[in-house]
Amino acid sequence: MTYYVIYRNDERVGGPAGLFVMDVGAGNAILWDHRNGQWAFDPALVVRFVNDYRNVDRFETVDRATAERVAETVSGGTALPGEEGIRAMFTPGASASGPQPSGQQ
């Protein structure tokens, strides 16, 4: 797993604004969805953001322990799921009570 801390701008003023978790080899990713207040499976958004040269200074890779602390901050207290839970979110047809793809209106 690769953990990315996201910032609002390249100066990183105001601290972390988001968190992505990605299994780079499989192309799966989750992120904290601020609108829905839950973890969401959205690998397309994560890949677009990370691969966009304009965002190169707006994220950094961190270890799991740092990602856990950032998750509590950006989510308002919701913990980062364990690796088993994250992998379950990568499974097609995950439980309806679990995170849903973001961006759906």
Within a domain: 99: no
- Whether residue 68 lies inside any domain: the answer is yes
Encoded tokens for 70: 């950032």
Structural domain count of the chain: 1
Mean pLDDT to the nearest integer, 96-100: 41
pLDDT greater at residue 35 or residue 105:
35
Residue 101: pLDDT band by 50, 70, 90 thresholds? very low
Residue 33 within a domain:
yes
Output the CA–CA distances (angstroms, integers) from residue 42 to 21, 35, 65, 91, in the order listed.
10, 14, 22, 12
Residue 55 lies in a domain: yes
Tell me the residue range of the domain where 84 lies: 2-89
pLDDT in tens, 4-55: 999 998 888 889 999 999 999 999 999 999 999 999 999 999 999 999 999 9
Locus of tokens 């901050």: 73
Provide the pLDDT for residue 92: 61
The reply to whether 97 falls in a domain is no
